[in-house]
Structure 1
Amino acid sequence: MKFTKMHGLGNDFVVVYQKDPLNESPRDLARAVCDRHRGVGADGLVFILPSERADLRMRIFNADGTEAEQCGNAVRCVAKYYYECVSGVKKELTVETGAGIQRVWLDVAGNRVDQVKVDMGVPVLQGEQIPVTIRKDRVVEEPLEVDGRHFAFTAISMGNPHVVIFVDDVVSFPVEAWGPKIETHPYFPNKTNVEFITVRSNRELDMRVWERGAGQTMACGSGACASVVASVLTGRTGRHVIVHLWGGDLEIEWSEQDDHVYMTGPAEVVFEGKWLGSDASF
């Protein structure tokens, strides 16, 4: 199985281009490939596949083998790969994901994609649709108790579920201690991604993330989008914000015109290789 190792701000993926649809779910393959000691090492295994509804289809499997609905950083990587290695022509693409079709715009310098802008769609705010077990039109600053500690969370879906929690100092906050406990809390029937946020200003956020199925990662595109939406809903920032993540910065805008969230950031190729494991038939 030929693959390309890529990352979006350190959120890294093993990307596989395949001309035929997947006949089965490669859960075991994802776990093996993403293992950082015995495999390639990645936060997820991503397939670029044919689509009848868009220019291409993306399927992403987390490091634990579970399939995610979509991933903002992976979409940017997929779009860069498709332009540089497959298409070479279209600077505006449509990508089919498990959360629907996303529009993507490519900033190309020479033959190389520099920045990728993604229409992440309209954020889902209704509790039942996110989903959380709290049945409210907006789950904003809702109390949450975990092991005797009290948090306030805002729940949002960007095609995948997110919980945003504001803290005083995200740099020193023990994400690895509280992230997995919140991810699996009974409030969240499909588990959840968890973003911990410190507000710098009306236009800047600091963010660390515990990703569902992957653990703590250096960046999360959909999580950055959810964090800006939560910041707007709670009156902490405006709608155009730079989100500072461990791996770098993302530009996020929650448009007042169409209610869509737009994410702009880079994607990088690291290396190419061939997987020789026993599950290399995909």
Structure 2
Amino acid sequence: MRISFTKMHGLGNDFVMLDAREHRLPPMTAAIARALANRTTGIGCDQLILLEPSEAADFRMRIFNADGGEVEACGNASRAVALLHGKAATVETNGGMIEVAPTKGGARVDMGVPRFEWEAIPLAYAMDTLSMPVGWGELEAPVAVNVGNPHVVFFVEDADAVRLDLMGAGIETDELFPQRINVNVASVTGKDAIKLHVWERGVGLTRACGTGACATAIAAMRRGLTGRTVDVTLPGGVLTIEWNAHGRIIMTGPATESFRGSFDWGDYA
């Protein structure tokens, strides 16, 4: 069975897009997603994105990380989906309903309303999510926020100096986080500017993470470190995050189609 795919990326965070809205595919499994994401023997990606019909929205987006795990949300993939779809749409995700619309060179995404309750992150036990009384080495007192998926955000003097490649896995899998966690290390570089590095759950260090940019911007705003609109600079480029008057997170940034191709499902099943 020959399957078409589109390879896309948002600021270097790359995706294999499978469109099953009109022609159904065999069931996706963690093993198949992991095999397709493999950069040596598969197509290669940070996330595999599966588009399916939805009764509640224009269509449904399912997201599988490179380790095969299915997750709730992906901001960069949402922009890529907007570009692929070609017009404004409501999209059902496991993290909730979002709205996407293509723009010149990218897309605008309404990511919904952030959650701050410890149960919504979720954490293993109750604590203040604005300044968590925990730490890992030099990283202390993070902010926790759920923006469709769970994040902790550490604010430091110099984000570039933190060896997140060595620390990320230990924080991600700490027993404090029963569903694991995305780890963000950020520096506020101006009134409305942040530099950010992200260890993505199930992926590792990534050039960009849309939900990480959203979570970090919201964390900075909650602490009074920035205004309500902020530019977040990641290794792959810049995203603009707004926390609007209705409490909703609006993310704007680029998305790009890299190439199209096809594969035999049986080679990966």
Q: Same fold (TM over 0.5)?
A: yes
For each residue in 1:46-95, what CA deviation from the matched residue of structure 2 results, as whole angstroms up to 9, or x when unmatched? 11111111111100100000001110101111111111xxxxxxx32111
Who is 1:263 aligned against?
Answer: 251
Percent of aligned positions that are identical: 44
| Alignment of 1:202 onto 2:205 | no
Query: Shift in Å at residue 267 of structure 1?
Result: 0.7
For 1:49, the equivalent position in structure 2 comes to: 52
**Structure 2 residue 20 is matched with structure 1 residue 5:** no
The answer to whether residue 231 in structure 2 is matched with residue 228 in structure 1 is no
Asked whether the 8 Å contact 1:20–1:49 carries over to 2, the reply is no
Counterparts of 1:238-257 in structure 2, within 5 Å, are 238-255=227-244, 257=245
Structure 1 distance, partners of 2:7, 2:102, is: 20
Give the deviation of 1:150 after TM superposition: 5.2
Specify the code of the residue in structure 2 equivalent to 1:270: S
Alignment partners' CA distance in 2, 1:187 and 1:139: 12
AA matched with 2:256: E
How many residue pairs match? The answer is 266
Q: Are residues 279 and 59 of structure 1, via their aligned partners in 2, closer, same or farther at CA, if it must alter by over 3 Å?
A: farther
For residues 233 and 52 of structure 1, do their structure 2 counterparts lie closer, same or farther at Cα, with a shift above 3 Å needed?
A: same
Could you say which residue in structure 2 is the equivalent of 1:86? none
RMSD of equivalent CA atoms: 1.6
Contact 1:76 1:267 in 2 (8 A): yes
Query: Aligned AA for 1:118?
Result: V
Summarize the alignment of residues 67-216 of structure 1 with structure 2, pairs less than 5 Å apart.
67-83=70-86, 91-108=87-104, 114-136=105-127, 138-146=128-136, 149=138, 151-216=140-205
Dislocated runs of 4+, deviation >4 Å? 20-23
TM superposition shift of 1:280: 5.5
1: CA distance, partners of 2:221 / 2:57: 31
Shift of 1:22: 5.8
Partner of 1:88: none
Unmatched tracts of structure 2, length 5 or more: none
Q: How far is 1:23 from its partner? A: 5.7
Between stretches 66-75 and 125-134, larger displacement belongs to 125-134
Residues 186/280 of structure 1: CA separation in 2 closer, same or farther (3 Å cut): closer
CA distance in 2, matches of 1:171, 1:21: 44
Q: Secondary structure at the match of 1:155?
A: strand
**Counterparts of 1:22 and 1:139, CA distance in 2:** 41
Unaligned 5+ segments in structure 1 are: 84-90, 109-113
Contact 2:48–2:66 at 8 Å: present in 1 too? yes
Q: Secondary structure at the match of 1:141?
A: coil
Show the counterpart of 2:262.
274
Partner of 1:143: helix, strand, or coil?
Answer: coil
Deviations 1:110-138 (A, max 9, x none): xxxx22111111100000111012424x5
Higher deviation after alignment, 91-100 or 182-191: 91-100
Cα shift readout 1:241-269 (whole Å, capped 9, x = no counterpart): 000001000000011x2011100011100
1:35 alignment counterpart: 38
Which piece of structure 1 moves more, 91-100 or 200-209? 91-100
Q: Cα–Cα, structure 1 residues 273 and 21, in superposed 2: closer, same or farther, change >3 Å?
A: closer
Distance in 2 separating the partners of 1:172 and 1:139:
25
Counterparts of 1:67 and 1:152, CA distance in 2? 28
